[in-house]
Amino acid sequence: MNVYYTVQRTLMVVPTIMGITMITFFLLKALPGDPAYGLAGERADAEVIARFSQEFGNNASVAAQYVGYLKLLVRGEFGHSYYTNRRVAEDLAEKLPRTFQLACAALCVAAGCGIGIGVVMAVFRGRLIDRCCLMLTATFIAMPVFWLGLLLMYVFCFVLKLLPPAGSDGGRLMFLVLPASTLGVHAAASLARITRASMIDVLAQPYITTARAKGLPAAGVILRHALKNALIPVITMIGLDFGSFLNGAVLTETIFGWDGIGRYAVEGVFRRDYPVVLGCVLIGAVLFVVVNLVVDLTYALCDPRIRHSKKM
């Protein structure tokens, strides 16, 4: 693995994260009133507000206020919820693992269904089953996540009465099925299309013909020779989907009452609890950046062409 590329790509994260904090800072400034009140809330203890205002430096320049904001963030101080007066950082640390659990489950759904369907589509290219699947994936991509979640809930909870409609109950598997499927279906549909395209490219390669000509069984050729090589773009896409699950989690967790950061953010939105919303946005963006970094590094590890070419 090229050390130069790794270091360069990792260092690029620093300005991005600085920029993210700058944007959340301006959002904080856009709130009416003093940014210290924006983080602590007007009903917070006088001592807390004093601490925040001291950090921001009353009447200081915007740049000095930004530095104060950064100092607060470095100490893990995202402010206090207006509503519960709990520290946002603590709440986030508590809720993050639940969202992670949900995202991992969704990823399993997406990768399993997506790659499976994609391979079937590529093998039966142009036939009825391929066309049906193409139409089906296009339809799933066009469905809003929250609506799909409500439909699944209606069918599986109220009509068939198979699964519980909401809650997490200490992470029992039954409760995970619906939210994970809802979150994963979009990604599964787009993964299926990418797998199909990538498999079609690979299946046209001469080494596949060679493998077939040697008389290897068809399933072996498809799975061992073709799929293994077709997976590289798919893996990148899986990583990017994992990051975008943060978007979907906001809606999915709200519908299914899953107690993760998505629902936490939405509760913050409903109550106009600005420190909570800004904290979630900040953490969400930082996670997104880190996931993208991991994806890029993994990709370079898998594909030697990337790590040697200069980034545009």
243 is written with which tokens? 């990051």
Rounded to 10 degrees, the C-alpha dihedral 232/245/102/296 comes to 40
**Residue 80's beta-bridge partner residues?**
87
Which of residues 147 and 207 has its CB atom nearest to another protein in the complex? 147
By the rule CB under 8 A, 243 interacts with another protein:
yes
Closest contact distance (angstroms) between CB of 224 and another protein is 29
How far from chain centre, in Å, is Cα 280? 13
Distances (CA, A) of 291 to 81, 82, 103, 107: 27, 30, 12, 14
Restricted to residues 203-242, the positions that interact with another protein (CB under 8 A) are: none
From the list 288, 295, 297, 300, which residue makes contact with another protein (rule: CB under 8 A)? 288
| Burial classification of residue 63, based on how many CB atoms lie within 10 Å of its CB (0-12 exposed, 13-18 middle, 19 or more buried) | exposed
Among residue numbers 151 through 190, which ones bind another protein (CB under 8 A)?
A: 151, 153-154, 158
Q: Which of 83, 100, 124, 146 binds another protein (CB under 8 A)?
A: 146
Phi-psi category of 163—alpha, beta or left, where left has phi over 0 and alpha has psi -120 to 50? beta
Q: Which stretch binds another protein (CB under 8 A): 39-47, 104-112, 177-185, 248-256?
A: 248-256
Pick from 4, 15, 47, 214 the residue near another protein by CB under 8 A. Answer: 15
Chosen residue from 68, 179, 260, 284 binding another protein by CB under 8 A: 284
CB of 97 to another protein, least distance (A): 18
**x-or-dash string of contact with another protein, 20-59, rule CB under 8 A:** x--xx--x--xx----------------------------
Nearer to another protein, 56 or 274 (CB): 274
Nearest in space to 231 (alpha carbons), one of 118, 90, 141, 134: 118
Among 50, 138, 174, 218, binds another protein (CB under 8 A): 138
Please give the backbone phi and psi of residue 260, each rounded to the nearest 5 degrees, phi first: -115, -165
Instruction: Give yes or no for residue 278 binding another protein (CB under 8 A).
Output: yes
Write out 112-150 in H/E/C secondary structure: HHHHHHHHHHHHCCCCHHHHHHHHHHHHHHHCCHHHHHH
Q: Which residues of 179-209 are buried (b: 16+ CB within 10 A; e: fewer)?
A: bbbbbbbbbbbbbbbbbbbbbbebbeeeebe
Q: Per CB under 8 A, which region of 2-10, 75-83, 198-206, 265-273 contacts another protein?
A: 265-273
Examine residue 64 and tell whether it contacts another protein (CB under 8 A). no
> Given the rule CB under 8 A, which residues bind another protein?
15-16, 19-20, 23-24, 27, 30-31, 138-139, 141-147, 150-151, 153-154, 158, 243-244, 246-247, 250-251, 254-255, 265-266, 269-270, 272, 274, 277-278, 280-281, 284-285, 288-289, 292, 312
